[in-house]
């Protein structure tokens, strides 16, 4: 019977994957959702427990620093605007069709006394979890004057319309002349509006480039998405008899994000810094819920995360990340022989922007622990649709340290190269 249940779960996940995997064009925000939720799976695989105090985690691509160094070079280029664009193209060519991912998180916990009620054992605690995630897609893109202006999506739409209508080809400008100054002089926009564009994007001007304004040109383009979120509230773990377990959380979720697209001309003009700017912000009341069943060595659970209850506070422009919840399915087995343990697992998850078939995973944790599990080591081997993951976690009484490497299994996703990602996690507990 146990074998039938396990086989049935694997079959269910395979069927879900078959019908929910879809090919699609690369979308920066949807890609962020999938990558961020995959790292939330790593968080889930090292559960906090009732004695959790502090957790710090970080992740980044192996070549992120190389990109940042090359971006710094663009700010010191010399020559005409066209010559600088050509030099920027040569510098950034090795980064084209790649993505750079960065994740930093901080978690705090405060346990509250456990109690029993209604035949259920409750273990409440207070939690705060906050972090930043950034995703950068570097590419060479065909840019026209109209698309260049429309990429300035942090300024009002009517100002973008005015910039497009000012027609800097009549009379033609010289290479490197300021299009903003031209549009002010011919009355298309005011000086105050020109200053707004400059301050919003950290630029000194929008330089004229004949190959763009007169026709179009392939330019280095940075497509950036930055997300900051924080959750705070009550988390309640519970167990009922020897089979049922779960978790209920009532939280305030604050989120701010920013999408910014910069082409080489704006970077040359001083806009190369990838800053936060004026993000879209929102605060919602949400709940998480997990329900699981365990029998002998096996356990399965289903979970909903970040289910919106009500909007508490919001700016006029809301985060492009949206408010759709995460759905998770997970199953694992637990084996122990003396000081050694093995926990094979598999699961999947979905959120608006990607399906269950994009996010399936399977693997196992292999451990050896002594002194009542206070000292030990756990090795994780895991695979998903894009990466093979190898992690090592050292447990030292009141803390643990985990280092992890995700090596690509897939070459590309939607035309963008899959890169290595490294991460580390440091946690303290009672």
pLDDT tens by residue, 192-231: 999 999 988 888 899 998 888 888 888 898 888 999 999 9
Contact by Cβ (8 Å): 285, 323: no
Task: Give the mean model confidence (pLDDT) for residues 92-101.
Answer: 93
pLDDT (tens digit per residue) in 374-393 = 899 999 999 999 999 999 99
In a domain, 168, yes or no: no
pLDDT at 273: 55
CATH of the domain at 306: 2.40.128
The total of structural domains in the chain comes to 1
Range of the domain at 243: 2-144+216-429
Name residues whose C-beta falls within 8 Å of residue 99's C-beta, 6 or more positions apart in sequence: 31, 61, 135, 136, 137, 138, 416, 417, 419
In a domain, 369, yes or no: yes
Contact by Cβ (8 Å): 402, 382: no
Q: What stretch of H or E contains 402?
A: strand 399-408
In a domain, 318, yes or no: yes
Give the CB-side neighbour count of residue 96, counting CA atoms within 13 A: 15
pLDDT at 271: 64
Q: How far apart are CA 263 and CA 268, in angstroms?
A: 9
By CB atoms closer than 10 A (0-12, 13-18, 19+), residue 150 is middle
Unique residue bearing structure tokens 């447990």: 395
Closest CA to 201 of 270, 138, 281: 270
Per-residue pLDDT at 142 exceeds 80 = yes
In a domain, 166, yes or no: no
Q: Which residue has the higher pLDDT, 76 or 110?
A: 110
Q: Which residue has the higher pLDDT, 421 or 214?
A: 421
pLDDT at 272: 56
Name residues whose C-beta falls within 8 Å of residue 315's C-beta, 6 or more positions apart in sequence: 280, 281, 282
DSSP 8-state class, residue 358: G
CA distances to 33, 91, 177, 346 from 359, in Å: 11, 34, 48, 11
Peptide linkage before 171 cis (omega within 30 of 0): yes
Q: How far apart are CA 140 and CA 147, in angstroms?
A: 14
Could you tell me which residues are beta bridge partners of residue 62?
A: none
In a domain, 178, yes or no: no
Sign of CA dihedral 237, 295, 367, 13: negative
In a domain, 160, yes or no: no
Contact by Cβ (8 Å): 30, 322: no
pLDDT (tens digit per residue) in 288-324 = 999 999 998 999 999 999 999 999 998 878 899 999 9
Q: Exposure string (b/e) for 209-221, b if CB count within 10 Å is 16 or more? A: bbebbeebbebbb
Name residues whose C-beta falls within 8 Å of residue 253's C-beta, 6 or more positions apart in sequence: 229, 230, 231, 283, 284, 285, 286, 306
Sign of CA dihedral 347, 352, 355, 360: negative
Q: How far apart are CA 295 and CA 244, in angstroms?
A: 9
pLDDT at 211: 87
pLDDT at 181: 94
Q: How far apart are CA 23 and CA 25, in angstroms?
A: 7
Alpha-helical regions (H) of 151-263:
157-165, 179-185, 191-201, 210-213
Contact by Cβ (8 Å): 5, 298: yes
CA distances to 161, 269, 368 from 153, in Å: 11, 17, 53
pLDDT (tens digit per residue) in 162-181 = 999 998 887 778 888 999 99
In a domain, 177, yes or no: no
Ranges 70-79, 118-127, 332-341: which has the least confidence: 70-79
pLDDT at 347: 98
In a domain, 272, yes or no: yes
Question: What rounded mean pLDDT belongs to the chain?
Answer: 89
pLDDT at 200: 82
């Amino acid at each position: 019977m146990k074998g039938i249940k396990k086989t049935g779960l694997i079959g269910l996940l395979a069927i879900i994957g078959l019908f929910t995997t879809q090919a699609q064009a690369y979308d920066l925000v949807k890609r962020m959702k999938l990558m961020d939720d995959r790292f939330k799976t790593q968080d889930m695989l090292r559960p906090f427990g009732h004695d959790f105090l502090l957790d710090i985690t970080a992740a980044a691509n192996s070549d992120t620093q190389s990109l940042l160094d090359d971006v710094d070079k663009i700010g010191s280029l010399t020559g005409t605007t066209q010559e600088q664009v050509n030099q920027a193209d040569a510098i950034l060519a090795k980064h084209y069709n790649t993505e750079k991912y960065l994740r930093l998180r901080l978690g705090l916990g405060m346990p509250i006394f456990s109690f029993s009620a209604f035949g259920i054992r409750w273990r409440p605690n207070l939690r705060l979890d906050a972090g930043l995630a950034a995703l950068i897609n570097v590419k060479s893109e065909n840019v026209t004057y109209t698309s260049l202006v429309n990429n300035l999506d942090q300024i009002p739409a009517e100002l973008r319309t005015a910039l497009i209508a000012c027609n800097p080809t009549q009379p033609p400008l010289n290479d490197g002349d300021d299009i903003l100054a031209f549009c002010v002089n011919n009355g298309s926009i005011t000086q105050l509006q020109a200053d707004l564009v400059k301050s919003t994007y950290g630029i000194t001007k929008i330089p004229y480039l004949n190959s763009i304004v007169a026709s179009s040109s392939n330019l280095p383009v940075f497509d950036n998405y930055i997300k900051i979120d924080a959750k705070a509230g009550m988390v309640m773990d519970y167990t009922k008899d020897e089979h049922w377990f779960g978790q209920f959380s009532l939280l305030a979720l604050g989120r701010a994000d920013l999408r910014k697209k910069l082409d080489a001309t704006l970077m040359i003009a001083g806009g190369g810094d990838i800053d936060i700017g004026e993000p879209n912000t929102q605060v919602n009341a949400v709940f998480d819920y997990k329900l699981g069943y365990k029998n002998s060595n096996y356990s399965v659970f289903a979970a909903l995360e970040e289910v919106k209850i009500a909007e508490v506070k919001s700016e006029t422009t809301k985060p492009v990340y949206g408010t759709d919840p995460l759905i998770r399915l997970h199953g694992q087995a637990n084996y122990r022989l003396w000081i050694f343990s093995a926990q094979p697992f598999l699961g999947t998850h979905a959120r608006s922007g990607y399906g269950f078939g994009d996010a399936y995973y399977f693997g196992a944790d292999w451990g050896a622990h002594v002194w009542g599990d206070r000292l030990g080591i756990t090795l994780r081997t895991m695979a998903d649709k894009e990466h093979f993951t190898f992690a090592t976690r050292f447990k030292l009484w009141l803390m643990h340290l985990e280092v992890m490497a995700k090596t690509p299994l897939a070459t590309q996703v939607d035309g963008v190269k899959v890169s290595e990602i490294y991460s580390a996690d440091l946690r303290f507990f009672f």
